[in-house]
Each structure stands twice: as C-alpha cells, then as structure tokens.
Amino acid sequence: MFEIIKCRGVLYKMMQKNIQQISIVSFFLFTIPLIILSLWATTESTIGRICAGLFLWYMSSLIILKKVDYDNNFNKVLTLPVFLSIKLSVIIFRFFLIRKYPEMEEEHYERWVKLKKLQKQIKIK
C-alpha cells in the first residue's frame, strides 16, 4: 500500500506502525460522506440511489479484499473504492507524519536523532 505513495525509510516505518489508524481513517473518509448524502436525499432520488450503490460497492469490496490479487484488472476495478480511500488516508497521514519523521534512509536516522538532541540542548541553554 505504501509503495504507491512512495515513502521510504523512517517515514515508511512509522506508517507501518500506524496501519490500524490509517484503516480507520480510510473507512470513515469513504462512509461518512455517503451516509450524510443518503440521509439528506430521499430514497426515490438519484443521489440516494447512487450513494446506496457506492456504499454497497465499498462494503462488498471490503469483504472480498483479501480473496483477490491485484494482477487482474477486473479485481482492481472491483476494489477501487477501498483502494481510493486507503490512498487518500495514506496521503493524509504522510502529510502529518512527514513533519515529525522526514523522508530519509535508515542509515542517516541515527545522525538525525543526534542532531535533534543537540538542537534541544542548544535551545535549553
């Protein structure tokens, strides 16, 4: 999932640690707007039917997500809503995590930690 967003190093590790939060945000990013639109629109309206269809598509793709492989184009289309919501939530998490954990390789991480400690000590003095 994170290879699509192209994060690496420390940022990649932190996103792997926050995978549960990313999945929760992904679910709510897709379902909350659909639920609000469904409650706002009547059942006879076109918007209500479209929202119900998208919600059904999302839930069915969540169910079959582990059973399909992504080599087939039909499976990619079948799980498109889940893929889009996960991609959006990863981009959001990347935006917040990149401030704290810069995109760097693992070998430079030790130097980065030492530099941050020195900067804190300089600020204190």
pLDDT higher for 109 or 80?
A: 80
What does the DSSP assignment read for the chain? -HHHHT--HHHHHHHHHTHHHHHHHHHHHHHHHHHHHHHHS-TTSHHHHHHHHHHHHHHHHHHTGGG--TTSHHHHHHTHHHHHHHHHHHHHHHHHHHHHS-S--GGGHHHHHHHHHHHHHHHH-
Segment 13-52, tens digit of pLDDT: 777 787 888 888 888 888 898 888 888 887 788 888 888 8
Q: What is the mean pLDDT of residues 63-76?
A: 78
